[in-house]
Amino acid sequence: MERYYDLKHVVEDSEIDAQQHVHNLRYLQWTLWAAGEHTRAGGWDAQSALENGFGWVVREHEITYRAAALAGDELIIRTWVSDVSRFASKRKYVICRPVDQAVLARAETRWVYIDLRKHKVLAIPQPLLDQLLLCEKSPPLPWQEMT
């Protein structure tokens, strides 16, 4: 797994709400997509885990909105694992619009590993811990890497 992962997304008209900007639930959806893609890229096989009755579930989300996204905006949702404990991992996100170097939102999610059959939190198995590369310091914003 790379220390951080970038999900690129172009805001679709269907993501726009009555106030003519992206609805707040879409930001949450983007963070979930980015987390899923990052873990898949690191070797996590969600389908196999599900078939065996295991998976990650969200225990807590926190999102701070800073600016609005609009239809057609090209965004990057950058995510990384910032902390891991016996039963949980913390993942952070920055949602940004590189064209004007705007940070639209910052988010954190605490994930726990569970036995889906018993609905019980489990200690994260060592092979999974080995897949989770920590990025304890926030990575640079995408436009900071280009300079």
pLDDT value, residue 146: 58
Q: Position 53: which residue type?
A: G
H/E run at residue 62 = strand 54-65
Per-residue pLDDT of the chain in tens (147 residues, 90 and over written 9): 689 999 999 999 999 999 999 999 999 999 999 999 999 998 888 899 999 999 999 999 999 999 999 999 999 999 999 999 999 999 999 999 999 999 999 999 999 999 999 999 999 999 888 888 899 899 999 999 755
Q: How many domains does the chain contain in total?
A: 1
Q: Identify which of 109, 60, 114 has the alpha carbon closest to the alpha carbon of residue 83.
A: 109
pLDDT value, residue 132: 87
User: CB of 12 within 8 A of CB of 22?
Assistant: no
Range of the domain at 67: 4-145
CATH code assigned at 13: 3.10.129.10
